[in-house]
Amino acid sequence: MKLAVVMDPVESINYKKDSTLAMLLEAQQRSYQIFYMLPTDLYLQGTEARARVHSLQVKADPKHWFELSAQQDIALSELNVILMRKDPPFDMNYIYATYLLEAAEQAGVLVVNRASSLRDANEKLFALQFPQCTPECLVASSADTLKRFIREYNDVILKPLDGMGGQSIFRVKYDDPNVNVIIETLTEHGQRLIMAQRYLPEIVKGDKRILLIDGEAVPYALARIPGEGETRANLAVGGTAQGQALSDKDLWICQQLAPRLKEMGLIFVGIDVIGDYLTEVNVTSPTCIRELDSQFNLNISAMLMDKIEEKIKA
């Protein structure tokens, strides 16, 4: 099995928490040949997708977790599977990379997740395709439209459509003296669409990250609980993590999404659930494998690799 990973610089990852590293350690355990590349290493020569790659060895060693060979040039068609694990920002360079990965798919390579679906499934907007699962939401750039929504629900979360890790997320009320400047800043004076979402007080019990592999839910969630005085629960901004079994409502939400995820080739997905509501569908580089593995003695990467092998053999 030849597996390649497109990711951020391997030397910059957080050894203890990085989900991509967990996947690569499992792949190496299975004697896969592993290749490493940055998005800028991809290129298209005529109709052939190619890349400058390094052979990669990974180690369960927090001080020395990788070794790279000399760079070589290969056709992506030589590979069995490519993991697209580049973190946002989801900018034009990311989109261009998906076009090159789509050319690899046309040559018979399995890309996880499917390149076209990475483009189509915006992590905030995609959740709105499942209105039976989501709280009241609005996507707009007009200050007047946004303020009408804030007036109706009074307590609202405002967030950009392309953020991650809790960046630029604001909780506002209609009488907040800063509401105008927050809207101006997020929308760039009405030139940029943002999302408004009814505030869910259940956030104090945690923003649950649930992982799905080809539509099947891992049976435990990682509830990210906000720190004192903080609205955001993201671990990147100081939230604490607490594992818990999925509730009946969590499982119901997963069942609502599963057929669409499978249809779109979204093999590894992380959804965010607050209380009984779906708030986001993360498809670019979902995390929390290491934390769930540690708390519940799981091997989520093995579950993922089993599914990848099944699809390649099919």
Catalytic residue among 105, 162, 207, 272: 272
CB 267 within 8 A of CB 308: yes
Amino acid at 157: I
Long-range contacts of residues 167-175, Cβ cutoff 8 Å, at least 24 apart = 169/231, 169/232, 171/199, 171/231, 174/147, 174/150
180 flagged as catalytic: no
14 flagged as catalytic: no
272 flagged as catalytic: yes
Catalytic residue among 50, 114, 124, 147: 124
Catalytic residue among 85, 86, 198, 224: 224
Catalytic residue among 26, 209, 214, 234: 209
Torsion of CA 16, 19, 25, 30, to 10 degrees: 150
| Residue in 197, 198, 254, 199 with CA at minimum distance from that of residue 221 | 254
Q: What is the DSSP string of 263-300?
A: HTT--EEEEEEETTEEEEEE-SS---HHHHHHHHT--H
Catalytic residue among 280, 290, 291, 293: 280
Amino acid at 184: E
209 flagged as catalytic: yes
State whether the Cα torsion 168-173-174-179 is positive or negative: negative
CB 258 within 8 A of CB 106: no
Which pair of structure tokens corresponds to residue 128?
């709105």
Which pair of structure tokens corresponds to residue 41?
């290493």
Report the alpha-carbon distance of residue 225 to residue 228 in Å, rounded.
Answer: 9
297 flagged as catalytic: no
124 flagged as catalytic: yes
Catalytic residue among 113, 250, 282, 291: 282
Residue 157 belongs to what H/E stretch?
A: strand 155-160
Please name the residue that has the structure tokens 């597996």: 3
263 flagged as catalytic: no
Catalytic residue among 232, 234, 291, 293: 232
Catalytic residue among 50, 86, 159, 198: 159
Please name the residue that has the structure tokens 């590349």: 37
67 flagged as catalytic: no
User: Quick check: helix, strand or coil at residue 63?
Assistant: coil
E strand intervals along 177-275? 194-198, 207-213, 216-217, 220-225, 240-245, 268-274
Q: Give the residue numbers annotated as catalytic, written as ranges.
A: 124, 159, 209, 224, 232, 272, 280, 282
